[in-house]
Structure formats: C-alpha cells, structure tokens
A = this chain, B = another copy of it.
C-alpha cells in the first residue's frame, strides 16, 4: 500500500463508438449546443456527481459538444478516493498530471472473473491505457 497525501489529477481520454454518421458543422460553434470549438479548460464546469473526493470536468464530450467518437475528461481524486472497479467496451488512455496513486489492472478480460489485478504506481508524466473490457480501478490511496 502506498502513502499518498496529494490530490491525484488524471486526464482521461475515453472513446465511445456511436453508430450515426458525421454531421456537417456550418460554423465554429458546435451545432448541438452552440458551445465553441475552442475553449479554456479553466472555465469548464466541475462536478462530483455526488461522489466525495471527486472533481470531474468534461473537457469535450458527446452531449455538450456533439462528439461522436472520443471524449476527454479531467478528473481529480482527493486522498482516499477512487474510481469504482469497472470495465467498458471502449479503450481508455490516462495521463497523470499531478499527484500520485495506484492503478489496479486485471488484464485477463476473457475470463468470467477478472482475476487478481496488477498494481502500478503512477505519478506525473505517467501514461497508461486500458484495453477494451479490462477491469481497472484508479486509486489515490491515503
């Protein structure tokens, strides 16, 4: 177990595959909500979705910006907080911007159960990618 008292800030690049085809955009405003293509990350709304210790920003997303293939999130985890253990049908790439923590990755995605995960210590400048359906958890261990 790792000692960690800093917040852990992650950039998450998550891909969603949608079945509808590309739509034409007629100006530099998004056609869905009118939000601009060019934005300042420091002005993006933060939310915790009711989960203590989480700060989440959707840097670019499907609902707000009409993205059809990829989403980018900026998330910060307070000491002791973590994601659920989860997996999903899209690839995910992480870049650690600040703080440190632990990635738990169970890469036996073919099995009925994901098995014992490997632990990876992560810190700024570390990137990691999660293959489709591989169970994983990001943890800022207190």
A132/B59 in contact, CB under 8 A? no
* Interchain nearest-CB distance for A69 vs B (Å): 4
Q: Given that A70-B93, A91-B70 are contacting pairs, would A22 and B132 also be in contact in the complex, using a CB cutoff of 8 Å?
A: yes
Q: In whole angstroms, how far apart are the Cα atoms of A37 and B93 in the complex? A: 10
Q: Of A45-53, A75-83, A107-115, which binds chain B?
A: A107-115
Q: In whole angstroms, how far apart are the Cα atoms of A49 and B87 in the complex? A: 36
- Please give the count of copies of this chain that the complex contains: 2
B72/A118 in contact, CB under 8 A? no
Instruction: Kindly identify which residue among B28, B72, B110 contacts A127, using a CB–CB cutoff of 8 Å.
Output: B72
Residues of B within 8 A of A129 (CB): 37, 60, 65, 67
Residues of B within 8 A of A28 (CB): 105, 107, 118, 120
Instruction: Kindly identify which residue among B37, B69, B93 contacts A59, using a CB–CB cutoff of 8 Å.
Output: B93
B42/A125 in contact, CB under 8 A? yes
B72/A37 in contact, CB under 8 A? no
